[in-house]
Amino acid sequence: MYKMQSFIIIPIIFILIGSPLKGGYSGVPLSRSPELETNLGLYNSSDKVIPLTVDNVKSFISNQKYGTLLEFYNTYCGHCRRFAPKYKELAEDIYPWRRIIKVAAIDCADDNNNDICREYEILGYPSLRYFSPYYLKGDDQTKIGYQIQSQDLNEIKKTLIIQAMNESRFDNYWPDFSEITNKDIGHLIENLPEKIKYILIIYENENSTLGSNLILDFSLYDSIQIRRTTNPDIAVSFNIVTPTTISIIDKRNSNIEQIHSDNLNETSFKNHIIKFLEEKNLYTYSTTEHTSIITFQHKDIYNNISEIIEYVKDHGVHVVYRADLDHALHYALFHEIPKYININGERLLALQNFISIIKRYSPLGKNGEEFMNKLYDYVKINNENIYGNDLENYIKNIVNDNDVPLFATTDLWIGCIGSKHLSRGFTCGLWKLFHYLTVQAAENEETQDPIEVLQAIHGYVKHFFGCTDCSNHFQEMASRRKIWNVASKDDAILWLWSAHNEVNQRLAGDETEDPQFPKLQFPPPSSCHQCYNKEVSASPILDQINWNKHEILQFLKNIYNHQNISYYSLNMDQLENSKKSQMMGNVFSDMDMSFGFILYGSCIIMMIFAVKLFIFRGYRRKSHLNNTLGKLSEILSKIFPSIQFSESNAGYTLLVPK
């Protein structure tokens, strides 16, 4: 036991109570490479997809001799990640069309690209636009490009063919997609450029795009010209009886050769034409030609994250990282919400609801709370319409005008870090932010509305979440799971937990899944065995689990409690600024208030005794003071059983367990 005299009993109690509680600083700042780049994009210069940025996208698509297929995507969109391999496949397939149509992409998750994605009214991802040759942004319906709705490769390809057929012949290099007419018979080889050696005649059915497809496939070759007809009489004049035959006219002597195909498809005809060109030594197509006009280099941060992954795995699922909450909120405010040119109507109401719950239950420190108050006032005052560009500038101005950071970190995920390129990240962080908000709402009595947080989450996902496919899934799930019938704040916590598990089950084994962080049912048995009424396997299936929802509720409240936030990875400046205001609030807000009043009263009593002891030293007997201290010691011992007092000639001694 440690012994201390009676005149320092109360200071010692304050020292004991004032020791750091959980939720404090839980690790040293990570060393990290300067100017760490987290946004690596879905495409690079090794692909046939040309990656564009805000610096070159307008010059690339405007007033050019070629058309452009441009994908606006978001690296955090799971559907974009699944679509990326298909888009690369399409770019590879139509690579021979590159003189006529180029395939490009721009990442709307990049801060620098915000303005351009908003200007072209990109509201969901992935979004495909076709820009015609000599495109100039105007006021007509094509000012933001022709929107391609389908993501089926065959449909996209067919759309591009039709677009190319409908374009005027801007230059002499533009293919002639027109059908051969009766007037053309006998005059096809007249006025042809000297470099053309052969004319290929294709007979196809009406509404077929086979001929135009082949015209584009061989548009790079100046030694041949491909023409098409759907007229059987004209086809016969070129010795073509069935659509499976191609007639080839030698320009030098008008002799006709024929190619016969067993199948009426592009691949079969293409292979036959390639074989013919090789035999004539005219096939000079280079498959290694580099299309990208951009030098596009990335810093691969995934060589530097093993320390974080090891730390996260060691600490399991029981930790919420401030870095993830801040990063998710920062991305939502700076990217997702301001992407609209105009925010009004139902969308504006969704924004106001979202900002309202962030303001009320914000994970940010004192400065962050002030920031959210200003932002809330801004969106409430502008109650009819908000321009996305104005909102983004307003947010940036508040952030830039503050002397201290409003967000603890915005450069790297911690608990949501991915072990492979573009896995996890924002979607993981957003789920954690949502769970945190539902738990904070349940612990807060400022409002009794049981669905205020779920309503705000639903509105955000519906109107602002960039992945269109994910948003549709969530809305369907919300309707099926009767989100509007949730009756209490605790039920709101469980509703979101159950919905998240459904999403995990749907995406388990998906190509976007991180191999080191598989999508399992949460919490796993290893983390909360009491959350299961029966023994289950290590990887249980949602519909086969007998959950103990009372235990799950307590488990979630413990995890997403503000005291459980870890500040791992934050640099010291950010840590101090965010914690000084938050930590003291956390400590005292969680004390029992009666305990605080007792300490306060005890301190006043001791001060009175101290004054009397020193001022009236000769007029009071020491035993009288000891008697009073004895009574106070008895009271404190009853309140705090772990604290004991020992009486001796020297006074009362505080006994504290080792």
Pair 227, 362 in one domain: no
- HSE (side-chain half, CA atoms, 13 Å) at 41: 25
Pair 66, 13 in one domain: no
**What DSSP line would sit under 588-645, residue for residue?**
HHTS-HHHHHHHHHHHHHHHHHHHHHHHTGGGS-HHHHHHHHHHHHHHHHHH-TT-EE
152 pLDDT exceeds 80? yes
| 355-413 pLDDT tens trace | 999 999 988 877 788 889 999 999 998 888 999 889 989 998 888 887 767 776 656 78
Pair 494, 546 in one domain: yes
Average pLDDT score over residue span 337-347: 90
Pair 441, 335 in one domain: yes
CA distances from 265 to 212, 232, 383, 453, 620 (A): 12, 19, 57, 54, 112
Lowest-confidence pick of 98-107, 183-192, 438-447, 509-518? 183-192
The confidence score (pLDDT) of residue 281 equals 84
- Domain closes at, from 124, 140, 166: 166
On whether the pTM is more than 0.75, the answer is no
590 pLDDT exceeds 60? no
Of residues 147 and 3, the one with the higher pLDDT is 147
Q: Is residue 286 part of a domain?
A: no
Q: Is residue 573 part of a domain?
A: no
Confidence band, pLDDT 50/70/90 cuts, at residue 440: very high
Pair 518, 641 in one domain: no
Confidence band, pLDDT 50/70/90 cuts, at residue 33: very low
The confidence score (pLDDT) of residue 169 equals 62
Confidence band, pLDDT 50/70/90 cuts, at residue 627: low
Pair 633, 506 in one domain: no
Of residues 329 and 613, the one with the higher pLDDT is 329
The confidence score (pLDDT) of residue 419 equals 83
Pair 331, 270 in one domain: no
Helix (H) or strand (E) holding 415: none
Amino acid at 119: E
Q: Is residue 516 part of a domain?
A: yes
The confidence score (pLDDT) of residue 573 equals 53
Pair 506, 625 in one domain: no
Q: Which CATH number do you get for residue 233?
A: 3.40.30.10
Q: Is residue 287 part of a domain?
A: no
Q: Which CATH number do you get for residue 562?
A: 1.20.120.310
Lowest-confidence pick of 117-121, 126-130, 540-544, 629-633? 629-633
Confidence band, pLDDT 50/70/90 cuts, at residue 15: very low
Pair 648, 516 in one domain: no
Pair 357, 482 in one domain: yes
Of residues 430 and 186, the one with the higher pLDDT is 430
Query: Into how many domains does the chain fold?
Result: 4
Average pLDDT score over residue span 258-265: 83
Task: Give residue 635's domain range.
Answer: 2-18+590-656
d(CA 516, CA 596): 46
Confidence band, pLDDT 50/70/90 cuts, at residue 121: confident
Helices vs strands, H then E, count in the chain: 21, 16
Q: Is residue 198 part of a domain?
A: yes
Q: Is residue 306 part of a domain?
A: no
Query: What is the percent of the chain with per-residue pLDDT over 70, rounded to a whole number?
Result: 73
Highest mean pLDDT range out of 304-308, 330-334, 466-470, 587-591? 330-334
**Residue 631: other Cβ atoms inside 10 A:** 10
Pair 247, 365 in one domain: no
3-state secondary structure of 475: helix
Pair 619, 477 in one domain: no
Q: Is residue 525 part of a domain?
A: yes
Confidence band, pLDDT 50/70/90 cuts, at residue 633: low
- Domain closes at, from 166, 200, 234: 166
Average pLDDT score over residue span 533-540: 67
Q: Is residue 92 part of a domain?
A: yes
Confidence band, pLDDT 50/70/90 cuts, at residue 490: very high
| 201-236 pLDDT tens trace | 999 988 899 999 999 999 888 889 999 999 999 999
Place of tokens 């950010």: 574
